[in-house]
A and B are shown apart, each in its own frame.
Chain A
Amino acid sequence: MTRYRGRGIASVNYPIGMNLGGDPSQALVHSNPSGKFTVALSSIDLGQGMKSVTRQICAETLGVPVEDVYVDTADSDTGPHCMGSFASRGTHRVGNAVMAAAREARGVMMEAAAEELEVNAADLETDGRGNIHVKGAPHRSISTKDVAIAAQFKQGKTISGRGIFLVPLSDVDPETGEMSPATCYAHACLVAEVEVDDETGEVDMIRMDSAYELGRALNPRLVEQQLVGGAWMGVSHALYETPEPYYPEPVHGPRDFVEYLMPGPGDICPHDIAVLERPAPDGPFGAKGPGEMCANPVLPAVANAIFNAVGVRIDDLPITPEKVLRAIKAQGGARPQPRR
Chain B
Amino acid sequence: MAKTALQFQHNGRDVAIFVDGGTNLLVALRELIGDMTPKFGCGQGGCGTCSVLIDGEIHLSCLTLAETVAGRSVETLDGIKDGPNLHPLQRAFADNFAAQCGYCTPGMLMAAKALLDRNPQPSRAEVVEAISGNICRCTGYEPIINAVLAAASGGRARA
Chain A interface residues toward B at CB < 8 A? 46-48, 221-222, 224-226, 228-233, 256-258, 262, 264-266, 268, 271
Of B25-33, B76-84, B135-143, the segment with at least 4 beta carbons within 8 Å of chain A is B135-143
Of B1-9, B67-75, B93-101, the segment with at least 4 beta carbons within 8 Å of chain A is B93-101
**Complex contacts, A231 vs chain B, CB 8 Å:** 140
Partner of B46, one of A228, A258, A265: A258
- In angstroms, Cα B145 to Cα A271, docked, is 14
Within the complex, the shortest CB–CB distance from A8 to chain B, in Å, comes to: 19
Can you give 20 contacting A-B residue pairs, CB < 8 Å? Answer: A47-B100, A47-B138, A48-B100, A224-B97, A226-B100, A228-B143, A229-B143, A232-B139, A233-B140, A257-B41, A257-B135, A258-B44, A262-B135, A264-B141, A265-B131, A265-B134, A265-B144, A265-B145, A268-B140, A268-B141
Cβ–Cβ contact A264 & B132, under 8 A: yes
**Complex contacts, B139 vs chain A, CB 8 Å:** 225, 228-229, 232
Partner of B132, one of A47, A221, A224, A266: A266
* B42 on interface, CB distance cutoff 8 Å: yes
- Size of interface on B: residues with Cβ below 8 Å to A: 27
Cβ–Cβ contact B47 & A257, under 8 A: yes
* B63 on interface, CB distance cutoff 8 Å: no
- In angstroms, Cα B124 to Cα A170, docked, is 52
* B102 on interface, CB distance cutoff 8 Å: yes
Within the complex, the shortest CB–CB distance from A206 to chain B, in Å, comes to: 15
**Complex contacts, A266 vs chain B, CB 8 Å:** 128-129, 132
| B interface secondary structure, majority | loop
Cβ–Cβ contact A256 & B140, under 8 A: no
| A interface secondary structure, majority | helix
**Complex contacts, B102 vs chain A, CB 8 Å:** 47
Within the complex, the shortest CB–CB distance from B131 to chain A, in Å, comes to: 5
Within the complex, the shortest CB–CB distance from A7 to chain B, in Å, comes to: 20
Cβ–Cβ contact B100 & A229, under 8 A: yes
- In angstroms, Cα B42 to Cα A318, docked, is 23
Within the complex, the shortest CB–CB distance from B129 to chain A, in Å, comes to: 8
- In angstroms, Cα B63 to Cα A258, docked, is 14
**Complex contacts, A47 vs chain B, CB 8 Å:** 99-102, 138
Cβ–Cβ contact B44 & A232, under 8 A: no
Within the complex, the shortest CB–CB distance from B109 to chain A, in Å, comes to: 14
- In angstroms, Cα B144 to Cα A232, docked, is 13
Cβ–Cβ contact B137 & A228, under 8 A: no
**Complex contacts, B140 vs chain A, CB 8 Å:** 228-233, 268, 271
**Complex contacts, B135 vs chain A, CB 8 Å:** 257, 262, 264
Bitwise interface map of B from 120 to 133 toward A, beta carbon under 8 Å scored 1, else 0: 00000001110110
Within the complex, the shortest CB–CB distance from B102 to chain A, in Å, comes to: 6
- In angstroms, Cα B92 to Cα A215, docked, is 29
**Complex contacts, A258 vs chain B, CB 8 Å:** 44-46
Cβ–Cβ contact A265 & B47, under 8 A: no
Within the complex, the shortest CB–CB distance from B40 to chain A, in Å, comes to: 13
